[in-house]
């Protein structure tokens, strides 16, 4: 479609010509604060929706302090409020984008109610979770919103409620996961263009993709190997393949997971095993999110990563003994922890 030649598009453009892009970031963890800070510094109107009033107060007072790989620090001014403070649906705007950056374990009825109020009469929700299973749940809960999936390789570490380290640049693939009505197609294309430009202006390398299921499965393949095994062995990403026994287990888990995902439509990945090793090398000093959760006594994402692989295996009629085993072992770590798991990082990814 030629934007310049389409009269309807020109109407949209003139309507929103002076409208600042409004972005609601749901989640005050590392990835949420990273995107909120960089988008705000590039000129977008950003609101961060948190779980706690204390984090919202800190963000409103101090902004987001972001330190890059070269230790240069900047502060981004944002608005913030607890998501539970919403009491009625917000009026929808054609330029509204919501970025959902919480962990899978945080997507419960309470959160869905808050997102529904925030979305109002529509809106666009870009979901940036690890694992699978959440997109259908969100689509059912938000029938008037357009659901987008995002896969990012950005690295970030939250220091406190209002500061983060940007530990590594990556790439964001994103695209729609729900059907777009023909009557709204041009509006949706324009909204995609607005977000693409905002992300690029903020310094993110983003690519709009029509193949998001494959992108999600490729990341799931990496996460299903690295996350549970680092958590079980208590090692960093870089240490994981340095022991022969651990590396053999990695390879076996990779082989089983790849076969399951390919049976559900993922094209064969010729360099997939090497990609797993490359991720371990590139993030050698990183503690995986699952290991961090185990150490902190929080709910892990095992149900949506390896548990998601097991569910896919059942749907295509394959066995998943290794994925079943790591799910059970991570569950065993949970039972050995002192008391029940508690999730102090609700709304934080």
What token pair was written down for 167?
């530990």
Distance, CA of 286 to CA of 289 (rounded, Å):
9
Q: What are phi and psi of 199, to 5 degrees?
A: -65, -45
| DSSP-derived secondary structure for 250-288 | HHHHHHHHHHHHHHTTPPP-TTHHHHHHHHHHHTTTPPP
Distance, CA of 347 to CA of 102 (rounded, Å):
5
Question: What pLDDT, on the 0 to 100 scale, is given for residue 32?
Answer: 98
CA atoms within 13 A on the CB side of 265: 9
Nearest to 300 by CA among 332, 338, 258, 260: 332
Q: How far apart are the first and last CA of the chain?
A: 37
Question: What pLDDT, on the 0 to 100 scale, is given for residue 89?
Answer: 84
Options 1.20.120.790, 3.40.640.10, 3.20.20.70, 3.40.50.720; CATH for 7-210 is 3.40.50.720
Distance, CA of 26 to CA of 99 (rounded, Å):
6
Distance, CA of 137 to CA of 300 (rounded, Å):
19
Question: What pLDDT, on the 0 to 100 scale, is given for residue 181?
Answer: 66
Question: What pLDDT, on the 0 to 100 scale, is given for residue 71?
Answer: 79
Beta-carbon contacts of 243 under 8 Å, excluding residues fewer than 6 positions away, are none
Distances (CA, A) of 226 to 52, 112, 297: 31, 29, 19
What token pair was written down for 141?
């809960």
Question: What pLDDT, on the 0 to 100 scale, is given for residue 217?
Answer: 97
Distance, CA of 296 to CA of 339 (rounded, Å):
12
Question: What pLDDT, on the 0 to 100 scale, is given for residue 337?
Answer: 54
CATH number for region 213-336: 1.10.1040.10
Q: Are 290 and 228 in contact (CB under 8 A)?
A: yes
Q: Where are the domains of the chain?
A: 7-210, 213-336
Q: Which residues of the chain have pLDDT under 70?
A: 1-20, 91-95, 181-183, 334-349
Question: What pLDDT, on the 0 to 100 scale, is given for residue 335?
Answer: 60
């Amino acid at each position: 479609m030629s934007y310049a030649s389409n009269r309807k598009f020109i109407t949209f453009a003139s309507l929103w010509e002076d409208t600042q892009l409004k972005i609601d970031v749901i989640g005050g963890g590392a990835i949420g604060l990273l995107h909120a800070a960089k988008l705000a510094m590039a000129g977008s109107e950003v609101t961060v929706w948190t779980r706690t009033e204390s984090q919202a107060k800190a963000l409103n007072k101090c902004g987001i302090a972001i330190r890059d790989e070269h230790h240069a620090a900047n502060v981004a001014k944002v608005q913030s409020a607890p998501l539970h403070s919403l009491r009625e649906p917000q009026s929808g705007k054609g330029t509204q984008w919501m970025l959902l950056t919480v962990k899978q374990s945080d997507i419960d009825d309470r959160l869905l109610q808050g997102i529904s109020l925030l979305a109002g009469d529509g809106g666009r929700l870009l979901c940036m979770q690890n694992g699978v299973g959440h997109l259908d749940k969100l689509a059912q809960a938000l029938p008037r919103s357009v659901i987008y999936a995002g896969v990012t390789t950005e690295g970030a570490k939250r220091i406190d409620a209002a500061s983060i380290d940007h530990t590594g640049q990556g790439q964001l693939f994103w695209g729609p996961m729900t059907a777009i009505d023909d009557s709204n197609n041009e509006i949706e294309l324009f909204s995609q263009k607005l977000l693409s430009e905002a992300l690029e202006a903020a310094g993110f390398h983003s690519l709009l993709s029509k193949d998001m299921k494959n992108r999600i499965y490729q990341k799931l393949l990496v996460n299903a190997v690295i996350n549970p095994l680092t958590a079980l062995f208590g090692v960093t990403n870089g240490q994981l393949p340095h022991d022969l026994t651990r590396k053999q287990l990695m390879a076996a888990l990779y082989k089983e997971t790849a076969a399951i995902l390919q049976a559900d439509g993922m094209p064969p990945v010729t360099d997939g095993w090497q990609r797993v090793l490359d991720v371990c090398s590139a993030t050698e000093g990183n503690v995986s999110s699952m290991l961090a959760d185990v150490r902190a006594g929080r709910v892990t994402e095992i149900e949506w990563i390896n548990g998601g692989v097991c569910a896919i295996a059942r749907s295509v009629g394959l066995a998943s003994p290794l994925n079943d085993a790591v799910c059970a072992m991570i569950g065993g770590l949970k039972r050995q922890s002192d008391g029940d798991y508690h999730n102090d990082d609700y709304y934080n990814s």
